[in-house]
Amino acid sequence: MRRDRLHALAIVTTALLTAACASSEEWTTWKEHPSHFASGEHLAFSLRNRSGAPARVTREDIALARSQGWWGKPITVSTEQILEK
């Protein structure tokens, strides 16, 4: 009985330590590789003209693409729940 309890405790402890380490590692990954979270590239990259040179994307192009409602109406907290006008 005592051995079973110790065994269970060891399993729980190991699981907790593993979870903690994983969380720490994930955080470190984020800190060390911020470019992994590069933003907006999918709005601009791979656009090429006929000569093969990278095409330039203006801010208006990006705004237009967003205005098409590409992602649909999101589920999110309303501003009215946070702020009053």
Partner 1 sequence: MRSRLLAGAAAVALPLLFTLAGGVGRAVAAPADRALLPLDQYTSEKGRELGRKYAEELRALASGIYHCIPWLEVQEHSLGFYRPKHLGGGDSRYLSMRVFIEQEASPDFARLTVANQAAAMYARYVAALLKRMARSPALTADPGVEGFTIILEWLKQSVRAASDRPIHETVAVFIDKASALDFLAGRIAPRAFADRADIRLWDGETSLENLRLTRLAEDDFVSTYKMKNYQLDPSVTCP
Interface contacts to partner 1, rule CB under 8 A: 23, 26-27, 29-31, 33-47, 54-68, 70-79, 81-85
Q: Which C-beta is closer to partner 1: that of 5 or that of 58?
A: 58
Query: How far is the CA of 54 from the CAs of 22, 45, 47, 57, in angstroms?
Result: 39, 8, 6, 9
Closest by CA to 65, choosing from 36, 37, 51, 45, is 45
CB of 55 to partner 1, least distance (A): 6
Q: Which C-beta is closer to partner 1: that of 5 or that of 50?
A: 50
Q: Which contacts of 2-9 are long-range, i.e. CB under 8 A and separated by 24 or more positions?
A: none
How long a stretch of residues is the chain? 85
Q: Which C-beta is closer to partner 1: that of 10 or that of 25?
A: 25
